[in-house]
């Protein structure tokens, strides 16, 4: 069809053509799709209908105008929908006559952000990306009403672009006034917002920085997508003038591209961009059936663990913990409004080359909402929230990783390499589940209901089994206690295991790959986990009794004033058992769930919570000093104090060592070493050679 033919349509003829398409189009089932859509506008109070581009293909005359002059076609659609509405709901049609419009879905000409260039100006395109910033919603003038001093009304209708002209002459021919005043209450405004769309990480060519483009959206598209969402945007490319230094304002020859948004669709699949659904991680009835049947199978728990990172051999305990972390427990709100954390935090520390980062990456990929960041490249502002100054000079809040990952999870790799001041931003996130910020006149507390999965390397390269965990990892103790589970991943040579791992890695690098029959595919796993997150299982009496018994037993370890577990661990057990019940889609937390949670906590204690000096399980290790150490120090100071007496006499080293030996807690060598250590720590000082006093 040649161009001359298409442009022979007058505007009204084009509207009639479009109206004919809307009223006559039938889908495969024989329903009048668009007639129904127009009928449901009034009950829904909607001002638009969504037209699928694939349906327009049946009307080549309309479709060809799309590529030439999309604005003209959008106007024609607006008029056609309004006319169709007038026959059904004349009052409603009159009320929204200015705002009726069409949204185009499934537009086939999808480009990447890099392909938006000068050639595309004025054309309609669809582009996929990630929303990284959204401005506040502001009113944009649609029709401005001015009045001159004689109260004559002058109207200016602003259709294109952003600039509104102030009238030069009055609409009343006999009036000579040149001074006008805006009447805001008589003018018409619509909602307006600017989004920043950035290239998706998987579309990024090697060695390039991600491109971004600003998108203007209006009316009911505003606040539709939030920072962190992956969307496909359909819209028209526009240009706006950019000011250049040294060139008079408005006379610059330099322009920048901007997209005027027409429709937003959400990317639902993880990898494929082909399935475009309106909805975030929506689960269709067929998928729900598959999920339900999967949850009924007897070996579902083991299958889920095997499906998590099947390319990594072993580590099934850690995989199980990470699955529980993704599903999480339900956050409880108490009567007085305080909240109990439902998210589980897990910390992996261990030798290099034990696939820690690989598990973190996989976890962020399959979680219904997951982000991955690494320690060196993350600042406190990037993790929690930052205050940035907008072009217009307004302070804007920009969400960081844990806020974007709200109700999801954040994997933080190289946790030990973060700067201490940046890491301290996570204290509040991990226990209070919020991120507070007070900068530049903005005081805000943002929700950060995020599970944190962190990984770190030991200080000396390999994990030293003869040192306690706090001496192995360079981390503040208060942060360590906020993790529900801590795993020490050690690389211990052993013939059987080494053969298995080596075979697995070699096979992984051959063409056959590692396809297991029992493994659930990634997309279904994501859907399963997001479906499991909806459950709210309750504790049964048996599970409660089990947890209570374990807690009391742990508080009473050979009761030499030995307090090992704290209430934090008790809450951790409850969270883990609830998460396991959720993962198996049960509505009750049963005894076996509690047993498994206790097993996980117990294996953590036997792994990371053993005091290397006594060989006993002692949670004091995770809190800085094991109990044995604390009681020794107490004894040392008590003996020194009694020898000093009230007059603070200097105590001779030999006498002191003898007294320490008598207590049977120290040998002579230990006592001398301990004195040296206390001198280093400045708890005692040498008042004269060979004599000591307390500081």
Domain 3-105 has CATH 3.30.70.20: no
Does residue 201 carry a pLDDT above 50? yes
Helices 522-532 and 356-366: crossing angle in degrees, nearest 10, is 70
Q: Which residue has the tokens 């307004």?
A: 394
Q: Please give the Cα distance from 351 to 166 (Å, whole number).
A: 69
Cβ neighbours of residue 540 closer than 8 Å, sequence gap 6 or more: 588, 589, 590, 591
Spatial CA neighbour of 434 closest among 413, 451, 424, 448: 448
Q: Provide the whole-model pTM.
A: 0.68
Q: Which of 2-11, 398-407, 574-583 has the highest mean pLDDT?
A: 574-583
Domain 285-491+521-535 has CATH 1.10.1520.10: no
Does residue 278 carry a pLDDT above 50? no
Spatial CA neighbour of 96 closest among 223, 193, 188, 225: 188
Contact 460, 320 (CB under 8 A): no
Phi, psi of 440 (to 5 degrees): 50, 40
Sort strands 610-611 and 616-617 into parallel, antiparallel or unpaired: antiparallel
* pLDDT per position as a tens digit, 11-42: 777 778 777 777 777 777 777 777 777 777 77
Domain 110-277 has CATH 2.40.50.140: yes
Helix (H) or strand (E) holding 260: strand 255-267
Q: pLDDT band at residue 609, thresholds of 50, 70 and 90? A: low
Q: Please give the Cα distance from 287 to 563 (Å, whole number).
A: 48
Residue ranges covered by each domain of the chain: 3-105, 110-277, 285-491+521-535, 627-694
Helices 11-24 and 60-68: crossing angle in degrees, nearest 10, is 130
* pLDDT per position as a tens digit, 166-185: 777 777 777 777 777 777 78
- For position 2, what pLDDT does the model report? 41
Burial class (CB in 10 A: 0-12, 13-18, 19+), 651: buried
Contact 330, 536 (CB under 8 A): yes
- For position 632, what pLDDT does the model report? 67
Please name every residue paired with 124 in a beta bridge, in sequence order, or none if there are none: 236
Q: pLDDT band at residue 611, thresholds of 50, 70 and 90? A: low
- For position 674, what pLDDT does the model report? 73
- For position 269, what pLDDT does the model report? 46
Please name every residue paired with 237 in a beta bridge, in sequence order, or none if there are none: 259
* pLDDT per position as a tens digit, 539-597: 888 888 888 888 887 776 555 544 456 777 788 888 888 888 888 888 888 888 888 88
């Amino acid at each position: 069809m040649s161009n001359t033919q298409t442009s022979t349509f007058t505007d009204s003829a084009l509207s009639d053509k479009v109206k004919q398409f809307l009223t006559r189009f039938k889908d495969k089932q024989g329903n009048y799709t668009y007639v129904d859509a127009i009928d449901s506008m009034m009950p829904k109070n909607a001002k638009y209908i969504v037209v699928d581009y694939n349906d327009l293909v049946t009307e080549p005359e309309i479709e060809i105008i799309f590529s030439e002059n999309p604005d003209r076609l959008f106007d024609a659609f607006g008029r056609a929908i309004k006319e169709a509405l007038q026959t059904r709901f004349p009052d409603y049609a009159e009320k929204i006559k200015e705002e009726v419009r069409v949204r185009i879905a499934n537009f086939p000409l999808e480009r990447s952000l890099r392909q938006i260039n000068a050639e595309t100006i004025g054309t309609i395109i669809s582009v996929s990306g990630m929303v990284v910033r959204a401005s506040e919603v502001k009113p944009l003038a649609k029709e401005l009403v001015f009045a001159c001093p004689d109260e004559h009304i002058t109207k200016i209708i602003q259709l294109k672009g952003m600039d509104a002209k102030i009238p030069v002459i009055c609409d009343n021919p006999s009036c000579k006034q040149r001074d006008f005043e805006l009447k805001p209450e008589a003018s018409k405004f619509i909602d307006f917002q600017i989004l920043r769309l950035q290239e998706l990480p998987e579309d990024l060519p090697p060695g390039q920085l991600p491109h971004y483009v600003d998108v203007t959206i209006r009316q009911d598209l505003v606040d539709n997508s939030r920072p962190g969402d992956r969307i496909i945007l359909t819209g028209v490319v526009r240009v706006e003038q950019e000011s250049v230094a040294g060139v008079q304002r408005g006379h610059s020859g330099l322009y920048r591209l901007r997209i005027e948004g027409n429709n937003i669709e959400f990317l639902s699949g993880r990898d494929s961009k082909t399935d475009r659904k309106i909805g975030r991680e929506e689960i269709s009835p067929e998928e729900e059936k598959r999920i339900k049947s999967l949850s009924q199978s007897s070996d579902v728990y083991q299958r889920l663990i095997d499906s998590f990172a099947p390319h990594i051999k072993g580590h099934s305990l850690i995989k199980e913990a990470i699955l529980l972390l993704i599903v999480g427990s339900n956050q409880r709100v108490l009567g007085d409004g305080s909240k109990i954390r439902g998210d589980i935090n897990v910390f992996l520390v261990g030798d290099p080359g034990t696939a820690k980062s690989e598990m973190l990456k996989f976890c962020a990929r399959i979680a219904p909402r997951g982000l991955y960041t690494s320690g060196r490249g993350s600042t406190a502002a990037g993790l929690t929230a930052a205050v940035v100054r907008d072009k217009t000079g307004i302070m804007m809040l920009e969400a960081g990783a844990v806020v974007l990952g709200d109700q999801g999870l954040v994997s933080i790799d190289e946790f030990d390499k973060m700067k201490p001041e940046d890491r301290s931003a996570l204290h509040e996130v991990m226990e209070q589940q919020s991120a507070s910020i007070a900068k530049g006149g903005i005081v805000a507390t943002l929700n950060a209901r995020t599970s944190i999965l962190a990984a770190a390397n030991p200080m000396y390269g390999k994990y030293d089994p003869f040192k306690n965990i706090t001496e192995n990892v360079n981390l503040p103790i208060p942060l360590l206690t906020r993790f529900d589970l801590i795993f020490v991943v050690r690389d211990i040579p052993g013939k059987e295991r080494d053969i298995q791992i080596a075979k697995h890695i070699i096979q992984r690098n051959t063409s056959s790959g590692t396809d297991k029959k029992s493994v659930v595919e990634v997309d279904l796993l994501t859907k399963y986990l997001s479906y499991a997150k909806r459950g709210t299982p309750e504790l049964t009496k048996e599970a409660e009794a089990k947890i209570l018994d374990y807690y009391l037993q742990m508080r009473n370890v050979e009761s030499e004033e030995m307090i090992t577990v704290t209430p934090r661990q008790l809450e951790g057990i409850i969270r883990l058992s609830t998460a396991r019940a959720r993962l198996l889609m049960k509505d009750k937390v049963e005894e076996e769930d509690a047993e498994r949670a206790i097993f996980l906590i117990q294996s953590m204690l036997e792994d990371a919570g053993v005091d290397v000096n006594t060989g006993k399980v002692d949670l004091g290790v995770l809190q800085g000093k094991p109990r044995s150490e604390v009681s020794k120090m107490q004894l040392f100071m008590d003996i020194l104090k009694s020898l000093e007496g009230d007059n603070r006499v200097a105590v001779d080293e030999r006498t002191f060592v003898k007294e320490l030996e008598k207590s049977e807690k120290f040998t002579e060598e230990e006592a001398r070493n301990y004195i040296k250590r206390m001198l280093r720590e400045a708890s005692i000082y040498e008042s004269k050679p060979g004599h000591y006093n307390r500081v």
